[in-house]
Amino acid sequence: MRTILTAVALASSVWAAVPALAGEKDVTLYKNPQCGCCEGYADYLRENGFTVTTKPTHDLAEMSREAGIPDEFQGCHLSFIDGYVVSGHVPVGTVKKLLTERPDIKGVTLPGMPMGSPGMSGTKEAPFEMLEITKSGAVGRVYARE
Ligand SMILES: [Cu+2]
């Protein structure tokens, strides 16, 4: 019963996050109300031609879990883009790759807040590795390096 309730909750939250008529350039980004680098990332997406709606929430970790991302792989905000989950400061090249290739996965995550990533300050020290969020709930395979 718990599984069924979780599935229903997930279906309804994803449905709420991804309006049926949203196009591939429409982004809904959930963030903690205080998060500044999340706004930085939203602006970065806007500069790259996306239309971004930010939604403050205190349930980000739970929402990320529901989206298939275990705690240790969660980014600091959660975006829904054209049916995919994009967690964290994922560079736009990877977002475009995702929307072009349309792999059979739930989405990608860049865990944490790497220095020098889009929206973050600091100096990039190594290529970022975006991990697949699979439909079975496994996270870990590298989808893209950028
Ligand atoms: Cu951040």
Residues within 5 Å of ion ligand 1, judged at the Cβ atom: 37, 76, 113
> Please, what sign has the CA dihedral across residues 86, 115, 91, 43?
positive
For the chain, which domains are there? Answer: 21-145 (3.40.30.10)
| Distance linking the first and last C-alpha atoms of the chain | 42
d(CA 66, CA 24): 22
Distance 4 CA to ligand 1 centre (A): 32
Q: Give distance in angstroms: CA of 121 to centre of ligand 1.
A: 10
Q: Is the distance from CB of 78 to CB of 85 less than 8 angstroms?
A: yes
How far does residue 131's CA lie from ligand 1's centre (Å)? 17
CA 3 to centroid of ligand 1, rounded, Å: 31
The band of 22, judged by pLDDT with boundaries at 50, 70 and 90, is low
* Mean pLDDT score of the chain: 89
> Ligand 1: distance of its center to the CA of 32 in Å?
10
pLDDT tens digit string along 58-90? Answer: 999 999 999 999 999 999 999 999 999 999 999
- Predicted confidence (pLDDT) per residue in 107-143, tens digit: 999 999 999 999 999 999 999 999 999 999 899 899 9
Q: What is the pTM of this model?
A: 0.84
